[in-house]
Structure 1
Amino acid sequence: MDPQDVSGGEEGRPVPVCGEWTQLSAFQYSAELVAGPGAELDPSEVTIQGCECQGPHCSPEKCACLPHGENYHHRRLRSSQKAILECNVLCHCGESCANRETQQGLQFQLQVCQVPGKGWGLFTQENIPSGRFVCEYAGEVLGPEEACQRIRAQDPEANNYIIAVREHLHSGHILETFIDPTHVGNIGRFLNHSCQPNLVMVPVRTHSMQPRLALFAAQDIQPGEELCYDYSGMAFNFTPSSGHTQGKQKDRSQCKKCLCGTASCSGYLPFDATLFEAPT
């Protein structure tokens, strides 16, 4: 692993490691989602038909990818309360189309640093304006049974990287996505939890119905700040939809101490008991 770039050149910008880089657990870097055991969809397969827009940019009045209006304004996310559909490789619009924001890769200089008591964390070395795309949470896409098996096989003291995102549809159905960057993943695996986070996670679809988990700045972020999001998905959302997560919470003995240090800290990391139960 190169301490000058933990991504090994997979990202458009190098992501250096600050600290005892030899203590980093080995993993295969992937800037994108990969299909893992039990995945119903191959995230690399193009399954969404592109728009017919002509010219370099799309307009909400004509673009099939913008049924609810533009997703971004001056590169900033307009709302974290809806799933995003971006233009894809089959769209007729240009590469500079504003509706391709999360496909531009890393736009800010980030670094991985050791955090006292928490292990590793992801920090920014420059200002990040509110609403701007920061990075993706990429890894193996798992089926629910595989996700449960991996969770139950973990050492209770080990880091849990598996995230379960639940999208609540108007029909009443719930779409579940399980991502595990433990063995294959990107810099998103270094993000720590905070009860008062500066990032918000939003499902984004590009060329596949498999959502990518994009993290946007929830506020203006200053150089040197640690980047964090709420593992439960409750922050900035009217309906809890993601997490390591809330789910059916059991007694506190199953939860790990939260070390975010914020004024609103709950004292414990979010815990999703449903991942420890046999899948139906």
Structure 2
Amino acid sequence: MGERCKMDVSQGLETLPVSLWPPSEEPPAFQYSPDHVAGKEGGPHPSEISFPGCSCHSASCLVSKCSCLPYGENYNNLCINNEGNELDFSKPIFECNTMCQCGELCQNRVIQRGLQFRLEVFKTAKKGWGLRTVEFIPKGRFVCEYAGEILDFGEAHRRIQLQTPSDPNYIIALREHLWDGRIMETYVDPTHIGNIGRFLNHSCEPNLFMVPIRIDSVVPKLALFAARDICEGEELTYDYSGRYHNYLPIKDQYRLQQDEESKKACYCGANLCTGFLPYDSSLFLKDVSEKGTL
């Protein structure tokens, strides 16, 4: 990997410094924040404490006793729990929070510990800036969050409409399908305020997958985990569509295939590359009232 750049992209706000390569160039300026922040134009406040804490007066919580673990263990030796090599995304994940009585090293506190591996922002050949690891990352370990401004649909739609075809789109729309048929939507925009997650590029065969995890707030942390062992120097990627390691309803898959004129070329280089970046047309509608007809 050569000599590391001494510049810390995170400006000392992460648990580990994030290096930059090459040192002669810098990515476009933005305000660094390791956590979600409330958007100025609306949206839920991500710092609001929404959940009561557990009453486990122990160093680490046990499934049989902890109210934060109603669906079983979330982690095993810091790795996300995937018994049988399959992840069950139908069950929400809650970490122990600020109000909990357990210790800071509780096994159900992983995302909130921050970065656990040294990462580097680097200039790619065709995809602009990217993110890679400076050290080996075992399968199942937490890598980083995708953090930014939390917006409501109206503001996310407004920002999308202001973009030109050459502007990068960092806004991610998370849709969680609830047991009663409703869909909970979270819009995250790290364009102006965000963390290193904004540098992650798409891949049709990614080495990361995203999981919504809640700690203090109903607003989920968008946590990215290693889908397999990741070698030193390897670029970190995830599937922008959310299809990889996640359940995506047929309705949403169809939406991602629309609007040929809006598709952008994918340069991930994967053997099974689709040739184009995933596209979610709901945020690009001219008339917001059309959203309910998709």
What is the DSSP-based 3-state SS (H/G/I as helix, E as strand, rest coil) of the residue aligned with 2:288?
coil
Alpha-carbon distance in 2 for matches of 1:238, 1:29: 31
Do structure 1's residue 232 and structure 2's residue 235 form an aligned pair? Answer: no
Any idea what the Cα deviations from partners look like across 1:181-223, whole Å, max 9, x if unmatched? 0000000000000000000000010000111100000111000
Q: Which amino acid aligns with 1:146?
A: E
| TM-aligned CA distance change 1:6 to 1:105, over 3 Å | same
What is the DSSP-based 3-state SS (H/G/I as helix, E as strand, rest coil) of the residue aligned with 1:100?
coil
Contact 2:8-2:18 within 8 A present in 1 as well: yes
Q: Which moved more, 1:25-34 or 1:72-81?
A: 72-81
Q: Which amino acid aligns with 2:236?
A: L
Residues 48-197 of structure 1: pairs in structure 2 closer than 5 A: 48-79=51-82, 80-82=87-89, 83-197=92-206
Q: Which amino acid aligns with 1:56?
A: A
2:257 aligns with 249
| TM-aligned CA distance change 1:155 to 1:23, over 3 Å | farther
Any idea what the Cα deviations from partners look like across 1:28-50, whole Å, max 9, x if unmatched? 00000000045442111111111
Report the Cα offset of residue 81 of structure 1.
3.1
Contact 1:38-1:145 within 8 A present in 2 as well: no
Contact 1:246-1:270 within 8 A present in 2 as well: no
Do structure 1's residue 34 and structure 2's residue 37 form an aligned pair? Answer: yes
Do structure 1's residue 12 and structure 2's residue 15 form an aligned pair? Answer: yes
Contact 1:161-1:182 within 8 A present in 2 as well: yes
Contact 2:256-2:278 within 8 A present in 1 as well: no
1:215 aligns with 224
- Structure 1 regions of 5+ residues with no counterpart? none
What is the DSSP-based 3-state SS (H/G/I as helix, E as strand, rest coil) of the residue aligned with 2:156?
helix
Alpha-carbon distance in 2 for matches of 1:240, 1:128: 31
Q: Which amino acid aligns with 1:184?
A: I
Q: What TM-score does the superposition give when structure 1 sets the normalisation length?
A: 0.94
Report the Cα offset of residue 26 of structure 1.
0.6
Q: Which amino acid aligns with 2:167?
A: A
Alpha-carbon distance in 1 for matches of 2:110, 2:134: 21
Contact 1:246-1:272 within 8 A present in 2 as well: no
Aligned CA RMSD, in angstroms, stands at 1.8
Number of matched pairs: 277
Q: What TM-score does the superposition give when structure 2 sets the normalisation length?
A: 0.90
Report the Cα offset of residue 239 of structure 1.
2.6
- Structure 2 regions of 5+ residues with no counterpart? 290-294
Q: Which amino acid aligns with 2:95?
A: E
Report the Cα offset of residue 109 of structure 1.
0.7
Alpha-carbon distance in 2 for matches of 1:167, 1:203: 9
| TM-aligned CA distance change 1:246 to 1:217, over 3 Å | farther
Alpha-carbon distance in 2 for matches of 1:240, 1:198: 22
Contact 1:38-1:144 within 8 A present in 2 as well: no
Report the Cα offset of residue 279 of structure 1.
2.8
Do structure 1's residue 269 and structure 2's residue 291 form an aligned pair? Answer: no
Q: Identical aligned pairs, as a percentage?
A: 52
Alpha-carbon distance in 1 for matches of 2:121, 2:131: 5
Do structure 1's residue 25 and structure 2's residue 28 form an aligned pair? Answer: yes
Report the Cα offset of residue 24 of structure 1.
1.2
Alpha-carbon distance in 2 for matches of 1:239, 1:254: 21
Alpha-carbon distance in 2 for matches of 1:64, 1:32: 25
